[in-house]
Chains A and B, each alone.
Chain A
Amino acid sequence: MEISIVAEKLFTLGTFPVTNAFLIGVIVSLFLILLMQKVVRNKTLVPRGAQNVIESVFEALLNLIESVTQDKKQSRQFFPLIATIFLFVLFVNWIGLFPGLGTVGLLHGEGSHATIIPFLRSTSADLNFTLALSLITVFMVQLTGITALGVVHYGKKFFVSPFHKPYGIGTLVGVLELVSEIGKTISFTFRLFGNVFAGEVLLTVMLHLVPFFLPLPFLFLEIFVGFIQAIVFSMLTLVFLKTATLPAEH
């Protein structure tokens, strides 16, 4: 039973190491892209089949976004980023539950030290992916704030002059806001990584202890956790996007 925090390398493409988490991420992206392409190409006014399901999911997401932003135009603007984050993180969390987690893979090593490098490992259980996603999110939040308010007004939220009303406390609060942006990045990263990786470790241990029936409640828990983490990531992104477009209060 091999548990490693770092995603294991399967093979190398030139000098680029392809890890199992990366492979799964590419497979899920291709799946989503091909699915959406198939639906868009044959779209009809009255939706049937796959188009119906996807339209209902999108509508639910749009309503959820609108309930937070209270602004139709802004919801349309935020929708692509939020929906992509939600769908991709959801599928990548759930694909780690397929049969073969931690068990099906490449043999590595000799004789008694032989271990298995599993093929299936959730992409969100790779710190690189969650860090990249949270960096993208925080960057998009700053960009949205700057396009909505202008660089000077947006900067006024963080760099408050100590000569105006709050006299010094304003400056401190501004610096605190700046630091909390970095804190948001780190918390996004570790929340998603921790939840999914801990779930995988839990499932691996349970499957090694009692392979029949006992892991069932843990599988249900993991389905639930994967769904909740996708929702939480997108909802938090949405809330930060919304507060970035609000002008600084006095």
Chain B
Amino acid sequence: MEVESAKLIGAAIAMGLGALGPGIGLGLLASKALEAIGRNPEAQSKVQTTMILAIAVTEAVAIYALVIALMILFA
């Protein structure tokens, strides 16, 4: 197999598998946050702020996979 095709397959697999975990994690996060807001609408701004922070940290894991995929493709 040539290096070029190996690069393409490698980048695709890296990003594809790397997005599984964070995808599930983000779904869980958002659902729990929505549940919390539903139970206690007064605490909405606190819950929302913490949720955004947690979303960004979880998203970062998917971004690590993206960086690896981009490095495989372009460097």
Contacts and interface: CB of A to CB of B under 8 A. Distances in A.
Interface of A: 3-6, 187, 190-191, 193-195, 197-198, 201, 228-229, 231-232, 235-236
Contact of A198 (B53, B56, B57, B63): B63
B56 A197 contact: no
Given A190-B63, A194-B63, A4 B53 contact: no
B interface: dominant SS? helix
Nearest to A233: B56
B36 interface: no
Question: What bracket does the count of chain B residues touching chain A fall in?
Answer: 10 to 19
Interface in B27-75: 52-53, 56-57, 59-60, 63-64, 66-67, 70-71, 74-75
A141 to B, nearest CB: 16
Interface of B: 52-53, 56-57, 59-60, 63-64, 66-67, 70-71, 74-75
A191 B63 CA distance: 6
A193 B67 CA distance: 8
A125 to B, nearest CB: 11
A3 B74 contact: yes
B75 A6 contact: yes
Nearest to B60: A191
B52 A190 contact: no
B74 A5 contact: yes
B62 to A, nearest CB: 9
12 contacts: A3-B70, A5-B74, A190-B67, A191-B56, A191-B63, A195-B63, A197-B70, A198-B63, A228-B52, A231-B52, A231-B56, A232-B53
A232 B74 contact: no
Contacts of B59: 191, 195
B63 A232 contact: no
A221 B63 CA distance: 15
B56 A232 contact: yes
B70 A187 contact: no
Contacts of B52: 228, 231-232
